[in-house]
Amino acid sequence: MPTSSESHHPADEISRQRRWGKPPWSDEAFPSAPLDPSHADVAIVGGGLTGVSAAYHLARRGLRASVFEASLFGDDASGRSGGIVLEGTARGVLPGTGQCIEKLQEVVSAEKIDCDLQLQGCWEIEHAREAQDRVLPWRDGGLAIRVRQSVAGGTLNPMGLLAGLARAAARAGATFYERAAVRKIVRGVRPAVELDGALIQANYVVAAVNAWTNVLLPEVRPVRSALTTACATQPLSAPALHELGLGAGARPFYTVDLPYLWGRMLGQNQVVFGAGLVFGAAPVLEGVDLADDEPRQALEQLEARVRALHPALSRVGFAAQWAGPVAIADNFAPLIGRLPDAPSVIVAGGYSGHGVALSVWMGAAVARAIAEDTALPGWGALAG
């Protein structure tokens, strides 16, 4: 007898225009079709990079994949990412995840996706009390900033990647539906997804909703939902970038200690900085407006922090301010696995802000598990 996974997904909230600000990425065209209640081989809940990657890899294997996005494609974590590419997971390179960047390169190259992928490496930076080698000319809270090491990684345009991957998936036969909020996953030998007025049966269901995982599946290992804030400066002069240590040879960066700070160069000599988290239950975060007290204060603190990093930034203006959701998993180990009582339902998410390359790898891993019945990694277990 099938059972239902009740979803109190705030569909009405999700379907309206979000008020999380606008990131600096250009708008992109996404494939979308009128809702079709017919059967799908695989119903994918969530139109971010994980869901779209799964659809792409499934469609290329000849399986009918349907992607249901509650909001607009690109208006969630994937399209609001800072676009920093890193290897592995936020917990490190867990078994099997040492090829995330390779998988990303493979897909971008095969489908000729225009996403400005640059793999120049990434700086791990940390606060230092005294002058040391490889110190950036910044002061953060009275401390110097030191480049601890350079690791594999780089940058890309996340909206360009998401849209290009979706278009490639559509060419291979996947279908995409936006403003199609799934309210329930109906479990059983043949699972289904329930939307307003429609029940769509499938052989498999993939839940790839990241920060909203516990709304749809409350029994899965908890992830903490939060919005992270970011800003992009107005264009800086070449001499100012040189003073900042962000001239030729500069790389994206993130701190390995607290207070956390990450950033990257952007076209037209802009710099993106990000920091700060606004925690809350998913339905609450859906309704957050950047003008609300807590996110406004988080942005103000971030911008004040940026201006205090170096005299060249003391009067900098900001061309964009935005927020995007992240899912912080327990012990920073992402979720990827089959529901114990419903092995035809697979969950993937919980990237802890480390999901640009990882999510593409995860989508491929999910597709392989469905098409070839391969095992999913044990470190992604769904139990608490």
Tell me: the pLDDT tens digits for 73-121?
Answer: 999 999 999 999 999 999 999 999 999 999 999 999 999 999 999 999 9
Predicted local confidence at residue 286, as pLDDT: 87
Burial of 174 (0-12, 13-18, 19+ CB in 10 A): buried
Residue 349 has pLDDT above 60, yes or no: yes
Is beta strand 84-86 parallel, antiparallel or unpaired with respect to 65-69? unpaired
* Domain boundaries of the chain, sorted by first residue: 4-82+158-223+331-380, 121-152+224-330
Residue 188 binned pLDDT confidence (cut-offs 50, 70, 90): confident
Residue 137 has pLDDT above 90, yes or no: yes
Residue 15 has pLDDT above 90, yes or no: no
DSSP state at residue 206? E
Express each pLDDT in 289-307 by its tens digit: 999 998 899 999 999 999 9
Which residues make beta-bridge pairs with 145?
127, 136
Predicted local confidence at residue 384, as pLDDT: 64
Q: Which of 119, 117, 138 is nearest to 246 (CA)?
A: 138
Give the residue, 197 or 351, on which the prediction is more confident. 351
Q: Which residues of 307-334 are buried (b: 16+ CB within 10 A; e: fewer)?
A: bebbebbeebebebbbbbbbbbbeebbb
Q: Does the domain spanning 121-152+224-330 belong to CATH 3.30.9.10? A: yes
- Decide if 207 contacts 46 (C-beta within 8 A): yes
Answering whether pTM is above 0.85, one says yes
Q: Which CATH architecture has domain 4-82+158-223+331-380?
A: 3-Layer(bba) Sandwich (3.50)
